[in-house]
């Protein structure tokens, strides 16, 4: 009994030391990111994706956007890493998986967009004669892809229940998670589209449009990927109930887990030209 208590104390002490060391590393990394400058290559990549000409007037706005999103996404990524490692250690192992890291990164991206939506540009706004809508900043189908997949997730859960007669709590929990993710992402996207636009020179407005477009692409790619992971989790949870078809479902889960993150990255980094009418009025 004494040996067991001593062993548990050593394990607890080791865990505390590891967590303390990880915390120090995290603070050091975040501090370096906070002090670091946005590289020219990252600025050029942003401009290239939107055919944006960086000028003296709009450059600081783009740099501030890139710095803010980098800070919060990295914070979320590190939090996901610590959460994954901490949970594995609590369960008696020491490992990390991709999904918590990605989820943490995406939560950081959401926080960054919420904070950017609070940025004040003054009391004046510019309104184009062409109304500002999601289709101005990304493909129309992309706006509804996440909600459509969430609906499919709920429908799939209902189908599995009706087909097998087995109530699988994990399936419905994942369906609920898919709906929550889709709703939250859609609301944040709406804030990105609707936040005030500065009544300034054309190059500054063009930069603001590019920033909105990039934000919507990142939110769409990340949100869709998380919803798809919920659907894949559902397939994995019910595969054993479908007999021979279950092996096919398991194969879909494995392949999808590898392919869909790449597709989400492609969505997040896709090029997009914001084309609007040149006539604007002040409101």
Checking if the pLDDT of 213 tops 80, the result is yes
How would residue 144 be classed by pLDDT, with cut points 50, 70 and 90?
Answer: very high
The whole-chain average pLDDT of the chain stands at: 81
Mean pLDDT computed over 156-162: 92
Q: What percent of the chain has pLDDT over 70?
A: 77
With pLDDT > 90 as the criterion, what percentage of the chain qualifies? 49
pLDDT, tens only, 19-43: 555 555 555 555 545 555 788 898 9
Can you tell me the distance from the alpha carbon of 208 to that of 63, in angstroms, rounded to the nearest whole number? 12
pLDDT value for 19: 52
Average pLDDT of 53-59?
Answer: 90
Residue 4: band (very low, low, confident or very high) from pLDDT cuts 50, 70, 90? very low
pLDDT digits (tens, 9 = 90+) for 113-138: 888 876 544 444 444 444 678 889 99
pTM of the full predicted structure?
0.80
Arithmetic mean of pLDDT, 5-21: 49
């Amino acid at each position: 009994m004494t040996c067991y208590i001593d062993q548990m104390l050593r394990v607890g002490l080791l865990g505390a030391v590891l967590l303390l060391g990880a915390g120090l590393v995290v603070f050091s990394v975040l501090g370096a990111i906070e002090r670091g400058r946005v590289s020219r290559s990252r600025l050029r990549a942003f401009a290239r994706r939107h055919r944006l000409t960086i000028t003296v007037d709009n450059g600081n706005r783009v740099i501030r956007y890139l710095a803010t999103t980098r800070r919060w996404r990295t914070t979320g990524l590190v939090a996901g890493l610590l959460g994954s490692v901490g949970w594995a250690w609590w369960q008696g192992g020491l490992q990390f998986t991709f999904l918590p890291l990605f989820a943490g990164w995406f939560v950081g991206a959401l926080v960054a967009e919420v904070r950017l939506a609070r940025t004040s540009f003054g009391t004046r706004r510019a309104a184009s004669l062409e109304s500002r809508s999601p289709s101005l900043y990304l493909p129309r189908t992309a706006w509804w892809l996440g909600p459509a997949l969430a609906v499919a997730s709920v429908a799939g859960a209902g189908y599995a229940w009706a087909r097998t007669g087995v109530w699988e709590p994990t399936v419905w929990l994942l369906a609920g998670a898919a709906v929550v993710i889709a709703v939250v992402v859609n609301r944040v996207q709406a804030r990105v589209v609707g936040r005030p636009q500065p009544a300034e020179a054309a190059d500054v407005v063009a930069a603001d449009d590019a920033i909105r477009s990039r934000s919507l692409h990142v939110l769409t790619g990340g949100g869709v990927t998380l919803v798809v992971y919920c659907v894949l989790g559902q397939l994995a949870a019910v595969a054993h109930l479908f007999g021979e078809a279950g092996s096919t479902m398991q194969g879909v889960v494995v392949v999808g887990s590898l392919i869909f993150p790449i597709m989400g990255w492609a969505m997040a980094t896709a090029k997009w030209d914001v084309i609007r009418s040149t006539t604007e009025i002040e409101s």
